[in-house]
Every structure is written in C-alpha cells, then in structure tokens.
Structure 1
C-alpha cells in the first residue's frame, strides 16, 4: 500500500473518530436542551394557569383556560385534591389517566412528572393551586411527544446532512494534504532509487524547514558526495593507470631489448639498470597506495611514543643534508630545547622526508629551506618553509587530494605520484594534529603542522 493511501487512511480514521465523537456529543446536548426547554415551557404555562385560578376561581375562568389550551399544541387537565377532573381541554385518554393517577408531591413551583419523550405518548407537568375559597387542586399540562419527535427527526436530518458534508470536505482535505505531504517523499524515493542504480545526478528541492526538508537536504548532500566520489574514483583509477602504464611500458620495452643477442654487454647492463629503476618506481607507488588503503580501512598502525622533536628532526636533517648540499640549497633548523610530543617516529619521519623532498625539488640553487619548531603552552608548531617556485592560488585547496599534482605535465623528473601529501595529511590527522599550507608564486611555500605537546608523561591524553 502506498504511503499516500496509508497516510490518508490514518488521517481519515483519526479525524472521523474526533468528528463522530463531537457530533454525537453535540447532538445529545442539543436534544437534551430542546426537551428541557419544552418541559420548562410546559411547566411555566401550568404555573401561569395556576396563578390565574388562585386569583379568580370560577366556572368562567376554568372555561377560559380550557378554550385557550384547546387552540394550542398543549393540553390542560384541572383536578381537585382527590384527583377528580374538574375540566380539561380534551377527553382524558388512558395515557393521560395513567399520569393523573401518579402520586406526586405538592409544589407551588410546579413539577415535571413525565419527561420520557421517546417511549411515552406525553410529557407532563403539574402545578398545585389553592383557590380563594380554600379549595385545593392541580393543574396538569400535557404535550404530545409526537411533536417533539418530529422536531428531533428534522434535527437528525440536519445533523446527517452536516455529517455527510463534513466527511466530503474531510476526504477532499485529506486528499490534498496527503498529496502535499507525500509528494516530497515520493521525489526522495525516486532519488534514492536513482542513487541505488548508480545515477547520482539527482536534484531535490528543499520544500520546507521541517524534518522532511532536512531529509531532502541530507539525500541531496549524499547524492552530491557520491557523485563527487564517483568522479574522484574515475580520476583516481585513470591516474593510477597512467602512473603504472609508463614504467611498465619501459620495463617491457627495455626487457625486450636486453634479451637480444646482438647488443653489447655494456648496453645490456644499462637497460637492466633502467628496468631496475622503473621497478622501484612501481614498487614505491604500490607502497604508497597500500598505505592509503590501510588508512581508509582504519588498519594503518600508529605506535606512539614520547619523542624529543628537536633531536628527532636533527636525525632526519642529517639524512637530507647531502642532497640539499649537492643542489646548493641551504638547510636551516631552529628548535626550542626540551620539546616533547607523543608521536610515531617512523610515520613522522615519512612526513618530514616527504615535505623536505618537495622543498628540494621545487627550490633553486642559493635558496633557503628552514624548519622551525616552537612551543606555546601545550601546542607545538612546526613550520617547513622554502624559497622555491611556490604553488598557484587555484591549486592550494587541492594539494592534499590524492594524485593531485601542480605540475600537470606529470613529469617524472620533477614530480612524484601525487600521493605524498595525501599520506602526510592522513598521518598528521591520525596523530590528532593539523596541517595547512601558505604559498606565493616565485616566493616560496610554508607547510604548518600543529601538534599537542607534552608537559610530562602523566598529563598527556593519547588519542
């Protein structure tokens, strides 16, 4: 069953119960008020005749009362204190006689002695009087219940008509309401169906600021993210194919040449050396890809320990100094003493080797690359600054993306695989730190790393 039908049925049942209860309560109170008004009017009429009799009790008065009631829809019977009929506006029938024989108390204000309008023929009241000559009697008033039932029957017809009209309007309103409520849900259902089939080009309008609108926005964000991931995956696979195809082509081509019999041993060794370099190229690429895969699957191991950052960096700089000296790039290191952090030294060596390697590749001779480590309170700031070529402003937001390289030519001499900075960011994130970059063309680049430091072993909270 469709949700619009379900929703409509639930609305109909709930509103129908409320409307039926309200109509029943209203009908009951209207009928009750109507009967009470008739009884009170009948009692007041009897009291009026009693007042006249108490002023002037004679045959003319009684005859006048009899004639007056015979012209109305009510009947009057006047009896003495022992129940003998003195006068009446119509012949007393069995139902009236039954009421006359009913025992009741004397009341100057009148009494209702028959109020059952559904099962009896008459409703009736009685008012006692005392004539000027001291004679005591009773004025009985009667009204046929046929008239009351006729009025109530007409009232029922109006209630039924009103109920039918209310149900019709209710169904029409529920139809429009269910359509209005379910339309965005149907659109979202179609959108999720497209998403499940791999089509992420969906567009959902934000219809309102309620939960349905938030759900629509969430699905739209999900579709956009999946579409972005799909494009990223395709680009990633294309880039990996490109990165692997080139060295594999070299390996295959030079292997074919090296196995020929008509080449010299010197050339053969040269080709074998090229094959070896390209094999290392593929091996390094696969290593970085495996590292990224482990990070995505949260299986990338981090073994933290307390490390003196200054001493740690000095050991890394000793490894990099020969490469910087051979290119004529000065390497400078500034660090506060006794700066400790809880890090994985193997992973962080990978971070700094990558950053320094990038600084060396894109720096010219007679430039400076500086590493500065400062500590303020419990925060360690590490800046790796060079005076190299710089990064264009339009490329800065994407340099930590996988396989993204500023050098679009993909030169294997000037660029890596576009994975190094992605791994750097993943490692720093895994340590609870942050990394950012500032750069200006032809002025240089600065990578800023922020970590939590250590006051002592007991105050550090390992993430």
Structure 2
C-alpha cells in the first residue's frame, strides 16, 4: 500500500513539473492528428473500395454477358449445323423417293407379306434390320397401294444410311396418300397396339406433319410435332411428287429432342442457378429445358415468352422473385429461340464478397498498424521528454543555484555567465539541426530525381518491350493465318483427285465398269495419284526450303558450264532458245536446286503458252551479279495477279479453269531457292503477249560473294 501511494505521489508531482507538462503537450499534439488521420483513412478506403467495387461489378457484368452471348451464339450455330445436316439428308431421301415413284423399276427378291389383324389394320411382320410397312384399318388394300408399298422398298437403303449417320433420328418413314406407310426401324405394330401407342383407326394424313407437308411447295421442308401424344420429339417432313407434279405422299423424320439437344441440355454454367431453355416456332412453347429451369418454368407466361421471342438484346427481368439476365439467340433453320437465364446476383456476389473481405482485412491491418505506431510514438515521446528535461534543465538549475547562493549572501560564489553560453549553445545546436535537415532534404530531392529518371527509363524499356511483343504477336497471328490457308489449299487440292479415285475404285469394285475399260480407268487413277504425289512432294520440298534445313549443298562452278548444261537439258525442244554470254564469272550455288528453279520457270512457260510458241532464255552479267531472263510469248498474267503468283497454291483464274495440271507450288519453290542463293526474282507480264521472269544471282569472286 505504501509502495502504491509512493508511485501515486510521484505521478501527481510529475504532472506539475516541466517535464510532465512537456510530455503531456507532446502526446496531445501527436496523438490527435494520428487519430484524425486514422478515421479519415478508413473512410477514404471504404469509399474508394465501394466506388471500385461498383465499377468492377459493371465491368464484370458486361464481360460475363459478352462471354455468355458468345457461347450462346456457338450453341446456336451447332444446332443450326445439325438441323441443316438433317435437312440435307432428308432432301436426298426426298429426291430418291421422287426418282423411285417416277420410274417403273421394282425391287428384286422382295415380296409384300402383309397380315391383317382383327381390328382391320395391315402390317408386315418381318425379321432383320429392315423397314416394314403397314396400313390403317379404314383403308382397303388395293393393287395401287400394294404397288406403292412395294416400290417404297427401294428407299430402305437411304433410310438405313440416314438413321445410322444421325443418332438423334428416332425413325424415318414414307407416308402414302391414304395412311399407308413404310418405316425404319421396323415397327411391331401389334405390340404397339397392345401397349396403346398405336390405334388401328389412326388416319395419319390428317396429322400436322402430313397436312402441312402436303400443302408445301416441292423441295420445301416442314417442322412439326409428330402428334399431340408424343413429347420430346419433333418432325421434319417433305412432300413427294411424281414427275414433279403428281403428289405421292410425304417423307418424314422423327427427331428425339434429348438426343438432338444433348450438348445443349448438358451444358453447365459457371453460375450455379443459371440454365437454358429452347422455345419453338411458331407456337412459342418451351420444348426443351435444363433440369435447373424446372422451378422457374411456371413464370414463363405467354407474355414473357413473346417478349423473349421478339428480343435479340440482353434483358433484365424479375423471375421467381429474383433479377435474371436473359440472353436470346435465334435458330435460323427453324426460327426457334435459345434462351440463357442467369441470376444477376450470382455474377456479382463473388466480387462483393471479395471487396468486403478486402475492406475488412484492410481495416484490421490498418488498426493494428495504427495501434503499434501509436504505442511506439508514445514510448518515443516519453523517452525524448525525459532526455530533453534532463539535458536542457541543467543550465537553468546552475543559474538558479548561483542566484540562490547570492540570495543566501554567499558572495564568494561567482556566477558564471551561464545564460549567454547556454543561448549560444542553443543557437549552435539549432543551426546544426537546421543544416542537417537541409542536407537531408537536399539529398531526398536528389534521390527522388534519380528515382524518377530510373522509373522513366524503365517505362521506356517496358514500352519498347511491349511494342516488340505486339509485333511478335502480329507475326504469330500472320503465321497462323498462313498455316490455316496452306492446309485449306492442300485439303482443296487433295479433295478432288481423292474423290475421283475413290469413285473409280468403287465403280470397279461394284462392277459398274466393263473389263475392257478397266485399263483406261486404272490409267486415270494413276494420273490422279501422280498429281497427289506431286502435290505432297512439292509441299515437302517447299517446307524444307522455307525452314532453312540443310538441303542446299553449295559449290563453286563456272557459270558458262552450268548454263550450257541447262541448254543441253532443253535442246530436245526446238521452241526453246538459250543465249549465254561468254566468259561469265563463277557462282556459288547448289547445282540441283538452281537447275530445278530454271526448269520450273521453263515448264511454267510451256504450260501456259500455246503450242510451238518460242521461249527465250538469256544469260548475261554485270559487275556483281548474273542476270537470267526466261521469256515466253504465251497467255500472260493479269496485272492484279502479279503480286500473288509466288504465294503457295496461288493460280490465276485462267490457269485454274484450264486443263493444265498444277498445284500452285512451282513458283513458290523457285522464289525460295533463289532467295536461299542470295538472289532476287522479278516478273513482268502482259496478257496475250507473254511473261518474263528475271533472276539475279550474286557472283563469286576472290572468296567474296557480291550480294545486292
């Protein structure tokens, strides 16, 4: 207790001392601004994060909508392509059906085996992976109906092929003008009758898929539901006409919605509650939806669906007490609509949560740092106050002691001029402090200027690096486009000969070609395979040359000897004239490839010139290079095609439409060979007057190669 009272007395005394007042003043002046700064920083941070959060929400919302619209467009394109594919196949069957009913041919080794049930309907009970026929009970089995059912057997092969190619097709059938039919896969009518799926009195010619197709124009398709009793199914039907005028029935295909829209129904959104639905046309009904859409389907009223159907822009609607973002895209083939429904709160909730967490973390961190800073400042102020009191109160104590001695009449005591000396020390200390502060500020400014220069220099370097990356990216994009174009051209040039060869081989295998003609067709196959081989060799060689692989074997040769050798190779053709200047300098070349380049130009001139047209090769030199000119008087090249003739697979329109074989690689190979030799190649041409290619090669002289 005594110890406590002693400390209490000391604290009271401290408050009424100089050092106590100094400590209290320093603490008050330091802590108040810090507290103000703390609350101001918290308020500014909350406001800045709130503004940034709103901006990020809007940006993220726009970006997510953009991504979903892109995906929606892709989904729509996929469905359009599948529908277009089925339409094309049905068109093929419809054309085959019209051909069948327009010709008197009947199927071989096939006889109708119709059996009549007690309800009056007919059907064909047949085994195997085949189609079968049937007829509703109100009809009489006439000779005409038997004849048409018999002829419809010729469609079975096309039915099977389409059914096997498209897994979403549930069945394909021919429906006659009086409710008789042929269907694949075969239908067990008796079993369907027992299970209630089929009723004997059904008149299929009154159903929408038949009536709409019957009233449609020739080669026009109709999309309908197969019947009011069938869910998850829709039908594509087309009319059949004999001799393009006499209606003979309908070709129909029932398509399973779950199989056809498998990818659409199983697509998973990033947002947990987002889903997709499909709206049909023209009845504007939801014909397919993902499982997550079930709880919201009752809110899609007729007015809501009509609003969705009439819009192609993103909509913001409140559905099932929640704000949703609605994206709509049109299936062009059927005019139906694919709709994405995405809860808005699930897009922005993650950003809000992140901002709130970030703000909470920031406040906690800032509070801890502020408290630590405050404690540190208080400790420093207490220590500094005691040091100041102890150091600066000593001269005053000495003065007071001297004054006190004089007051005590101790005149022997001499008071030193403490005041003047202390003030001088104060002045000197202050000046020293001011000088140090000035030095610190000067050094700070110099350091700041140095850092700014460094930042500017780094910024410039980063800008240069960024521009370099952009240029590199542009080059990569250009290379990718070139690669795609090359593969597209290769596919185009390979498609025709391969298709022809396969056709010939199938014709031979099917014995559609007489044995006397087999040699001729084998010769044609050989010709097309030779064309394919030339194309592959050309691409392979061009790739080697462009990739700068070690395919060139350079050697020093006498130019006159080389060009005389070329002249010997061409002397068999009297229309080719070679003129070589005497005493040409030496060349450092790959003999095989340079000879290939010149012969390619000559071959090109022969190919695109009329018979007996002269071709002139002129070889001359100047101080640093040898000039080789290949001049013909053939068809010529249009002016607008000249910049592109050295591109891969490029052929001018007249060359493409002519009977001359070629793949557009010859001049590309020539250009790469000449460039690999350090040379250049130029072309001049005029329609119907001819073309001149000019090659310039650097000469080799005294261990130096002169290059332009």
Band of TM-score, shorter chain: 0.5 to 0.7
- 1:231-270 CA-to-partner distances (Å, cap 9, x unmatched) read 1111011111111122111111111112233532222111
Question: Shift of residue 273 of structure 1?
Answer: 0.8
* Equivalence for 1:93: 414
The whole-number CA distance in structure 2 between the counterparts of 1:379 and 1:392 is: 29
Question: Shift of residue 443 of structure 1?
Answer: 2.8
Match of 2:492 among 230, 233, 242: 242
Q: Are positions 1:314 and 2:567 aligned together? A: yes
* Equivalence for 2:224: none
Q: Kindly indicate whether the alpha-carbon contact (under 8 Å) linking 1:302 and 1:347 is maintained by their aligned counterparts in 2.
A: no
* Equivalence for 2:550: 299
Match of 2:698 among 447, 452, 456: 452
- Structure 1 residues 155 and 298: CA distance shift in structure 2, 3 A: same
Match of 2:481 among 223, 231, 238: 231
Q: Are positions 1:364 and 2:615 aligned together? A: no
The whole-number CA distance in structure 2 between the counterparts of 1:413 and 1:436 is: 27
Match of 1:373 among 619, 628, 633: 619
When normalised by structure 1's length, the TM-score is 0.54
Match of 1:153 among 411, 430, 442: 430
- Structure 1 residues 393 and 304: CA distance shift in structure 2, 3 A: same
The whole-number CA distance in structure 1 between the counterparts of 2:612 and 2:513 is: 43
- Structure 1 residues 413 and 241: CA distance shift in structure 2, 3 A: same
- Structure 1 residues 174 and 314: CA distance shift in structure 2, 3 A: closer
The whole-number CA distance in structure 2 between the counterparts of 1:305 and 1:175 is: 59
* Equivalence for 2:15: none
Q: Kindly indicate whether the alpha-carbon contact (under 8 Å) linking 2:684 and 2:693 is maintained by their aligned counterparts in 1.
A: yes
- Structure 1 residues 368 and 175: CA distance shift in structure 2, 3 A: same
Question: Shift of residue 392 of structure 1?
Answer: 3.0
Question: Shift of residue 377 of structure 1?
Answer: 3.9
Question: In terms of mean alpha carbon deviation, does 226-235 or 369-378 score higher?
Answer: 369-378
The whole-number CA distance in structure 2 between the counterparts of 1:360 and 1:168 is: 80
Match of 1:388 among 622, 627, 634: 634
* Equivalence for 1:192: none
Question: Shift of residue 396 of structure 1?
Answer: 2.4
The whole-number CA distance in structure 1 between the counterparts of 2:498 and 2:412 is: 125
- 1:118-139 CA-to-partner distances (Å, cap 9, x unmatched) read xxx58xxxxxxxxxxxxxxxxx
CA-based RMSD: 3.9
The whole-number CA distance in structure 1 between the counterparts of 2:677 and 2:453 is: 53
Q: Which has the higher contact order (CA 8 A, sep 6+)?
A: 1
Q: Kindly indicate whether the alpha-carbon contact (under 8 Å) linking 1:341 and 1:454 is maintained by their aligned counterparts in 2.
A: yes
Unaligned runs of 5+ in 2: 1-410
SS at match of 1:316: helix
What is the number of residues matched between the two proteins? 293
The whole-number CA distance in structure 2 between the counterparts of 1:333 and 1:409 is: 26
Match of 1:433 among 651, 656, 679: 679
Q: Are positions 1:443 and 2:689 aligned together? A: yes
- Structure 1 residues 356 and 144: CA distance shift in structure 2, 3 A: same
SS at match of 1:273: helix
Question: Shift of residue 286 of structure 1?
Answer: 1.1
* Equivalence for 1:331: 576
Question: Shift of residue 390 of structure 1?
Answer: 2.5
- Structure 1 residues 351 and 280: CA distance shift in structure 2, 3 A: same
The whole-number CA distance in structure 2 between the counterparts of 1:91 and 1:232 is: 110
* Equivalence for 1:419: 665
Q: Are positions 1:264 and 2:493 aligned together? A: no
Question: Shift of residue 299 of structure 1?
Answer: 2.6
The whole-number CA distance in structure 1 between the counterparts of 2:587 and 2:594 is: 11
* Equivalence for 2:645: 399
SS at match of 2:640: coil
Q: Kindly indicate whether the alpha-carbon contact (under 8 Å) linking 2:614 and 2:632 is maintained by their aligned counterparts in 1.
A: yes
- Structure 1 residues 95 and 418: CA distance shift in structure 2, 3 A: farther
The whole-number CA distance in structure 2 between the counterparts of 1:153 and 1:305 is: 88
- Structure 1 residues 150 and 344: CA distance shift in structure 2, 3 A: closer
The whole-number CA distance in structure 2 between the counterparts of 1:249 and 1:279 is: 11
SS at match of 1:451: strand
Q: Kindly indicate whether the alpha-carbon contact (under 8 Å) linking 1:407 and 1:415 is maintained by their aligned counterparts in 2.
A: no
SS at match of 2:571: helix
Question: Shift of residue 389 of structure 1?
Answer: 2.8
SS at match of 1:380: strand
- 1:108-164 CA-to-partner distances (Å, cap 9, x unmatched) read xxxxxxxxxxxxx58xxxxxxxxxxxxxxxxxxxx4233441564387479759968
Unaligned runs of 5+ in 1: 1-89, 97-120, 123-142, 185-209
Q: Kindly indicate whether the alpha-carbon contact (under 8 Å) linking 2:637 and 2:652 is maintained by their aligned counterparts in 1.
A: yes
SS at match of 1:438: strand
The whole-number CA distance in structure 1 between the counterparts of 2:660 and 2:446 is: 76
The whole-number CA distance in structure 1 between the counterparts of 2:706 and 2:685 is: 32
SS at match of 2:597: helix
Question: Shift of residue 342 of structure 1?
Answer: 3.8
- 1:53-110 CA-to-partner distances (Å, cap 9, x unmatched) read xxxxxxxxxxxxxxxxxxxxxxxxxxxxxxxxxxxxx9983656xxxxxxxxxxxxxx
SS at match of 1:239: helix
- Structure 1 residues 146 and 361: CA distance shift in structure 2, 3 A: same
SS at match of 2:503: helix
